[in-house]
Amino acid sequence: MKTVMLAISGLGYGFALPLFNLLIVEELGLPMLLVTLSFISIGNAVFAIVVGTLTGVMRDVSGSYVTSLCFCACCVLLSSLLCLLLPVFRSLEERRQTHRQYQHQPLHQYMKQNEQQRSGVN
């Protein structure tokens, strides 16, 4: 059973790591790949130090690793929730950009442009 679990875990990491770099290039562009990977590596190093120490303290206080594992599971769930909400945050940002674009435009120009869009004339 352990071998099957390790194989599934290895396949998951094997698929995730190349896709991770592709997602960075798709979202931020190729020039930002190195900078982004640098920041992510620094963040991972700090996170590993902090979480390793924190789980050790939790284990010392509680007497078992159950509390530490529940904390780690909550962190994974929170990060998954943030990833799922990312499209919502993007749409809110696009609305904010659109609002700023039309905020300084005189009302008659906005109405004229809105009528042109409705009629299909550019």
Model confidence over 2-42: pLDDT tens digits? Answer: 888 888 878 877 777 788 888 888 888 889 999 999 999 99
In whole angstroms, give the CA distance from residue 108 to residue 4. Answer: 67
| Position 46 pLDDT exceeds 90 | yes
Burial of 29 per CB tally in 10 Å (0-12, 13-18, 19+) = exposed
In whole angstroms, give the CA distance from residue 76 to residue 84. Answer: 12
pTM for this predicted structure: 0.53
DSSP 3-state of 31:
helix
Residue with tokens 């303290």: 57
How large is the average pLDDT for residues 51-55?
A: 89
